[in-house]
A and B are shown apart, each in its own frame.
Chain A
Amino acid sequence: MHEWALAEAIIDYVSKVLRERNAVKVKRLVLRIGKLQTIDKEILVFALNNLAKEYDISIDEIIMRDEEITLKCRKCLTQWTLSPSQLPEDIREAIHFVPEVVHSFTKCPKCGSRDFDIVSGRGLSIESIEVV
């Protein structure tokens, strides 16, 4: 599961922060979840909690904020959004693993260019982490 790989990356980072700050636990972990990657939040939280236990880390609260998808054409500057749920499953899966491959499967709705930016909603990042 990709969620496990991401959770592992997060927990690795969290344990580094705890070490560096000489802190005992995480009070609040805020994650930003770009919708393009269609992350299964249930699995992500499950994986985070499991790995936290394994690493002997305590996390009081995990907050997940969705980030909408905005794509912007570099040719005609049109902005648009995308509903991953409307894509065929195998393509959604491919984008789930490497969001950049969206360029292989989508074009600008106005001019048909594949030269666009993923302005927001790409994938997962840690928005903030509070430790005590």
Chain B
Amino acid sequence: MAKLEDIDPRVLVIKKRLKVVSEIIPVMSSKGGVGKTVIATTIALLLARKGVCVGLLDLDITNPSTHIVLGINPASIVPEEEKGVIPPRVHGIEYMTIAFYSKDNPLPLRGTEVDEAIKEILAITRWGRLDYLIIDTPPGLSDPVLDVLSYMDKISPVIVTTPSPLSLKSVERLLFMLTEAGITPKGLIENIANKPSERIIEITKKYNIQYLGNIPYIENLDIIITDPERLVKSDFAKKVDSIVSKLVEANK
């Protein structure tokens, strides 16, 4: 006879929900404002246009913003329920965000609550068969983020940074912590950089990860950022597309 106390039954089911996903790519950054959300969403949009089965999951719980890049109002969408929640299809992407439930209201949560909300979303969302699940993660490597990663197998994060001297130290810290947690990033993207910078390349060599490419500063990005049709045709997307090719290439 076994008697156990106070079990959270969600953890097991999370692994099962993610079994249908071939590869999970959390897009991570050590700092906010480096373009992580736009890059994550653009990667998903470009993969969908290539006919790849792709999902996009916004786990930036207190500040979800992928829906802005997708140009949709999350309060107007109620995901279909079928023994869980079926992610609605947006621009060919299976899409899930907490903004469907917070209705885009402010959601001030502390660390443990962020963790709870993430677990709930992962436990209820029933993804279809996906080649890639792209995840927009909260900036920095907080405990909740590390927890998220621990619920998943098959993860290969993509790191986004800028060449700013302020970013160098923190991106290295992020890489160090990931390595320590036994997670190997798929590669690093240098954003807002007109050319690859030596220091960043040095860091990728040190941690033995792929330098996926640089994305120059693009002047009108803020204007096209909420219009997916224009976004995917932009110079920004062209740069991201060459990075996507490398991501897909690595799997062949």
Per-residue interface assignment for chain B, residues 2 to 24, with 1 indicating a CB less than 8 Å from any chain A CB and 0 otherwise: 11111111101100100000000
Complex CA gap A132/B1 in Å reads: 5
How many Å lie between the Cα of A30 and that of B126 in the bound state? 26
Q: A5-B85, A13-B12 are in contact. Are A98 and B106 (CB under 8 A)?
A: no
Instruction: Flag whether A130 is at the interface (Cβ < 8 A).
Output: yes
A126 touches B101 (CB 8 A): no
* A131–B1 touching, CB < 8 Å: yes
Indicate which residue in B2, B5, B83, B102 contacts A1 across the interface (CB closer than 8 Å): B83
Interface residues of A in 71-128 (CB under 8 A from B): 90-91, 93-95, 97-101, 103-105, 114-115, 118, 122-128
Could you tell me the distance between the alpha carbons of A95 and B101 in the complex, rounded to whole angstroms? 7
- Nearest Cβ distance between residue B149 and chain A, in whole angstroms? 20
**Interface size on A (CB < 8 Å)?**
44
Query: Which of A32, A47, A95, A97 has most chain B Cβ within 10 Å?
Result: A97
Contact of B9 among A4, A47, A95, A125 (CB under 8 A): A125
Annotate A48-90 by CB proximity to B: 1 below 8 A, 0 otherwise: 0000000000000000000000000000000000000000001
* Most interface-central of A104, A115, A124 (chain B CB within 10 A): A104
Given A93, A99, A115, A129, which contacts B4 in the complex, CB threshold below 8 Å?
A129
Query: When the two chains form their complex, are residues B117 and A130 in contact, meaning their CB atoms are under 8 A apart?
Result: no
Interface readout for A5-40 with B: 1 if CB under 8 Å, 0 if not? 110111011001100010100010000100000000
Closest partner residue, chain B, to A94 (CB atom): B101
Instruction: Report chain B residues within 8 Å CB of A90.
Output: 78, 103
**Docked complex Cα distance between A109 and B85 (Å):** 32
Question: In terms of DSSP, what is the predominant structure of the interface of chain A?
Answer: helix
> Which chain B residues in 1-52 approach chain A with CB under 8 Å?
1-10, 12-13, 16
Q: For residue A132, which residues in chain B have a CB less than 8 angstroms away from its CB?
A: 1
In the complex, are the beta carbons of A4 and B108 less than 8 A apart? Answer: no
B98 touches A (CB below 8 Å): yes
Residues of chain B with a CB closer than 8 A to A41's CB: none
The reply on B121 being an interface residue by CB < 8 A is yes
A contact residues around B7 at 8 Å (CB): 13, 125-126, 129
B13 closest partner in A (C-beta): A9
A129 CB contacts on chain B under 8 angstroms: 2-4, 7
Contacts of B107 in A (CB 8 A): 100-101, 103-104
Residues of B within 8 A of A94 (CB): 100-103
Counting CB contacts under 8 A, is B153 at the interface? no
Contact between B108 and A103 (Cβ–Cβ < 8 Å)?
yes
Residue B155, interface by CB 8 Å: no
Contact with A along B113-133 (1 / 0, CB 8 A): 110110011011010000000
Judge whether A104 and B124 touch: CB under 8 Å. Answer: no
Is B2 within 8 A of A130, CB to CB? yes
Name the one of A13, A27, A98, A127 contacting B121, with C-beta atoms under 8 angstroms: A98
| Residues of chain B having any CB pair with chain A under 8 Å | 1-10, 12-13, 16, 61, 78, 81-85, 98, 100-103, 105-109, 113-114, 116-117, 120-121, 123-124, 126
Chain A residues within CB distance 8 Å of chain B: 1-2, 4-6, 8-10, 12-13, 16-17, 21, 23, 27, 32, 47, 90-91, 93-95, 97-101, 103-105, 114-115, 118, 122-132
In the complex, besides A2-B81, A97-B120, A125-B6, 7 extra interface pairs with C-beta distance below 8 angstroms are A12-B13, A17-B2, A97-B85, A101-B101, A104-B103, A105-B105, A114-B108
Please provide the 6 A-B residue pairs with the shortest distance between their CB atoms, ordered closest to farther.
A4-B83, A5-B84, A9-B13, A104-B105, A126-B7, A100-B117
